[in-house]
Structure 1
């Protein structure tokens, strides 16, 4: 199940791709300046009925090095199965777009960050074929911004500092600096920063501190309350998002198989809000002879007529 903290770890980059460049500079990477950044569809589902989605996918354009892709993954804890998924994402995107593809993994604790940083190789030790080595962002390398003046200079970097250090001893000072800096930020931008930060804080004591700090400014406190109320409806929202992604996957599979999809079929798929029905249609989309075939239960139609079998046997 996707958590609020998980969303905050990658969404801040999706909404503000330029933050990646400012962070990379702080980490010592000399990247060519971007001329354009575009958020791409994160769906990497193939014709097989396996749904795969990257958390955030961004395409950067540069004049000196050309375009490249950045896949952003939020990771809450070590998962032995994840490196193979990351390798799939990178190789799939590299093959599909024919562009250099980079992977950034954002973590909230040092243990997970240390695990994610370890290179994982496919192949025998003396004959490696593919090595996964992502850029890992977490409390070990994200700057601690505990000075209100520094927070004002880059309010989004200050929010990222709070999110990635949510479980660190410095979090109280970071939140105090961030809340102080928010007083000089336009309300529309500040409300967005409040939302990222509120999503990224999991500790009850820390969330309470953040609430108390926001109470000094009524407008931002309203934003915090709005986020709390929206959490209650997030489960329903996740179900809707799941249905939407499955509908997209069905249409992708039908398109990859070069099957003609009528407006009527497309509308019926897109209007369906039942994840279980969509999952069934997705499985059928892999082998259905026509786009309309996803709605048909061919297992029953293919079964022999028992009465005819009995009469033949007599």
Structure 2
């Protein structure tokens, strides 16, 4: 069953497929076709007589009529998947799209990364495909805030892999302040979901020391609750202000004399029910004091 870490990793690559190219080219040293076109596509592979198999993500490089390369991105947190299935992904992509294919396995765990980095025993003599694996050791520990802002996906991955290093988390937090709010929230969520509890606590600690509203599940709950309460309070205060203006408007229209202390008493009142009562009385009161007749002892 997919986990929050699995889903967040896939979203990082799905949101910006060029990330798969950068990981293979810049971090793992693989030559890839030079093209600005990289798109995520939905594929279901089939290896009859087996069932349909669906990779986590397929990134196609080059124009749709003639793709230049296929990157199959697979997230593995443990050793449960048969490595030969990764080989099937590549073979099916080659058959369907008629171009070269690379399997990129992203592993948050070092031992899992080591397991999938081995050549695959395909069962065919002389054919041992070798997937490209990105484990924690292959992810750079980004401690420069400017570099983190320039590469927010890699910075989020760095938090996952090296978040026990406070400087990595601080650089990530600083980078978020440079990003549009919606993007910053998304990257924070991904980093939080991909991290172990110890790093999550550090994220919370560092982010709550800034004025940027954090978006972890815990913080979102409490921040959202505060926002809702603030909006409700603001709405009530706004209605009270409007009701006070109505009382003054009716009294002015009827030509009733209002001393400064009476006007202040009305404008400073935040009890909406009481203001509505005053507004109703203002329509028939002969004097200002008639309007307050029957008011609660607390208001007198």
Regarding TM over 0.5, the answer is yes
* Bigger CA radius of gyration: 2
Q: For residues 213 and 45 of structure 1, do their structure 2 counterparts lie closer, same or farther at Cα, with a shift above 3 Å needed?
A: farther
TM-superposition CA deviations, 1:231-288 (whole Å, max 9, x none): xxxxxxxxxxxxxxxxxxxxxxxxxxxxxxxxxxxxxxxxxxxxxxxxxxxxxxxxxx
TM-superposition CA deviations, 1:68-106 (whole Å, max 9, x none): 111000010123x42111111111111122121110000
Q: Is 2:140 aligned against 1:143?
A: yes
Deviation at 1:227?
9.1
Say which structure, 1 or 2, has more relative contact order (CA 8 Å, 6+ apart): 1
**1:118 maps to which residue?**
118
Counterparts of 1:5-154 in structure 2, within 5 Å, are: 5-23=5-23, 24-45=25-46, 50-61=51-62, 67-79=68-80, 81-123=81-123, 127-128=125-126, 130-154=127-151
1:10–1:106: 8 Å Cα contact kept in structure 2?
no
**2:189 maps to which residue?**
195
CA distance in 1, matches of 2:52, 2:4: 21
CA distance in 2, matches of 1:49, 1:41: 19
1:8–1:163: 8 Å Cα contact kept in structure 2?
no
Deviation at 1:46?
5.9
TM-superposition CA deviations, 1:192-248 (whole Å, max 9, x none): 2112112211x2221121122222345541x3238977xxxxxxxxxxxxxxxxxxx
Q: Is 2:216 aligned against 1:224?
A: yes
Structure 2, unmatched stretches of 5+, are 222-300
CA distance in 2, matches of 1:165, 1:10: 19
Q: CA RMSD in A?
A: 2.7
CA distance in 2, matches of 1:123, 1:99: 23
**2:179 maps to which residue?**
185
CA distance in 2, matches of 1:160, 1:95: 32
SS at match of 1:108: coil
1:74–1:105: 8 Å Cα contact kept in structure 2?
yes
CA distance in 2, matches of 1:142, 1:225: 25
Q: Is 2:157 aligned against 1:156?
A: no
CA distance in 2, matches of 1:227, 1:105: 32
CA distance in 2, matches of 1:29, 1:100: 13
- TM score, norm. by length of structure 2: 0.65
Deviation at 1:119?
0.6
CA distance in 2, matches of 1:112, 1:66: 31
Q: For residues 59 and 227 of structure 1, do their structure 2 counterparts lie closer, same or farther at Cα, with a shift above 3 Å needed?
A: farther
